[in-house]
Amino acid sequence: MNVHAPALADAHLPDEQTSAFARDAVDDLSLHPKRLSPKYFYDAAGSELFEAITKLPEYYPTRTELGILRDRGAEIASIIPKGAALIEFGAGATTKVRLLLEKSAFAAYVPVDISGEFLNAQASGLRRDFPDLAVYPVAADFTAAFALPTQVVRRPKVGFFPGSTIGNFEPHEASTFLRSARDILGRGAQMIIGADLEKDERVLYDAYNDAAGVTARFNLNVLVRINRELGGNFDLSAFTHRAIYNRERHRIEMHLISRKKQTVRMLGTTFSFRPGESIHTENSYKYSIERFAALARDSGWTVSESWTDAARMFSVHAMTAE
Ligand code: AVI
């Protein structure tokens, strides 16, 4: 998920009215149990760490989804209406969208991301490599309502939400997002969406506890951001990464665990930690094909096709807006 919070101009005098990060961090660390939103992982360093995660031997989702998009490209292309506009919710590396653009007859591509700078870099590369494709970047928070560029309003629309980012939403948030996407794209639109599947718990555990410690650095990066952008004084060596699979709730949970009794100051507020106390930083929900179809149905979409890899590690669904 590329949701980039604005860096505060002055770490010591932040404008709490305008800083969502400051407000969320203070509110969420005041809760019991403490938490921080995963959207704050993704500053420049966090985005680089996530890119590194996608290349780890233990982290199967990215390469497995790419394999499905590659192997099933012709089938996916067969359900795309001619002259359609492809609307991507969140704009990450362009590797996945390029697979769709190479195989299907899209006339236009609309990447939507909160970071305009990131979008423009991505758009110029695609314009160069797909000269017949009209590219209309939209700088917006894709989890909320936004207007499509007028140039694509009359075209058939196909949403694209890869990466299993849907799994980082709570189930009610996932439903809200899918409803909002349906409202934006309109009745009859299609959506291609990736969702990670439930599987052997050891495989899941290893994917979020890699031997090289990259996921641990990614998790701890949110404290690095608080220190730099909000004037916090977290001692990084006093927190440890923990990722566990919660079977009842079908999710990997990431936590930062306090190694000792300690206090941390941020924005004039003191937060106390007990030894072993957690900051819950991320959930990554794992779906079955059936539970994903039910989520889609309850959110105004009908799944028409579901593709998986041979080992049933990951799923890509095509669905239609009702
Ligand atoms: C972005 N998202 C789908 C990743 C996931 O697997 O939930 C984020 C991530 N967290 C730890 N490793 C990767």
Tens of pLDDT, residue by residue over 167-213, are: 999 999 999 999 999 999 999 999 999 999 999 999 999 999 999 99
- Say whether pLDDT at 239 is over 50: yes
pLDDT in tens, 261-299: 999 999 999 999 999 999 999 999 999 999 999 999 999
- CA 141-142-148 angle, 5° bins: 105
- Nearest protein Cα to ligand 1, atom 6: 284
* pLDDT category of residue 92 using cuts at 50, 70 and 90: confident
Joined together, the tokens standing for residue 10 give: 């002055």
Sheet holding 34-35, edge to edge: 34-35, 278-285, 251-258, 239-246
A 10 A CB-CB count for 38 gives: 21
C-alpha 79/C-alpha 307 separation (Å) is 13
pLDDT in tens, 72-82: 999 999 999 99
Question: What value does the mean pLDDT take over residues 88-94?
Answer: 87
Burial of residue 161, with CB atoms counted within 10 A of its CB: 0-12 exposed, 13-18 middle, 19 or more buried: buried
Question: What value does the mean pLDDT take over residues 290-314?
Answer: 98
The length of the chain in residues reads 322
- Say whether pLDDT at 102 is over 60: yes
* pLDDT category of residue 91 using cuts at 50, 70 and 90: confident
The residue whose CB lies within 8 Å of the most ligand 1 atoms, and thus the one to mutate among 1, 193, 282, is 282
- Say whether pLDDT at 1 is over 70: no
User: What residue ranges line ligand 1, CB within 6 angstroms?
Assistant: 1, 53, 61, 163-165, 167-168, 208, 215, 282, 284
Question: What value does the mean pLDDT take over residues 111-132?
Answer: 89
* pLDDT category of residue 125 using cuts at 50, 70 and 90: very high
Helix, strand or coil for residue 256? strand
- Say whether pLDDT at 311 is over 70: yes
* Mean model confidence pLDDT for the chain: 93
Cβ 295 vs Cβ 312: under 8 Å = no
288 alpha carbon, distance to own chain's centre: 19
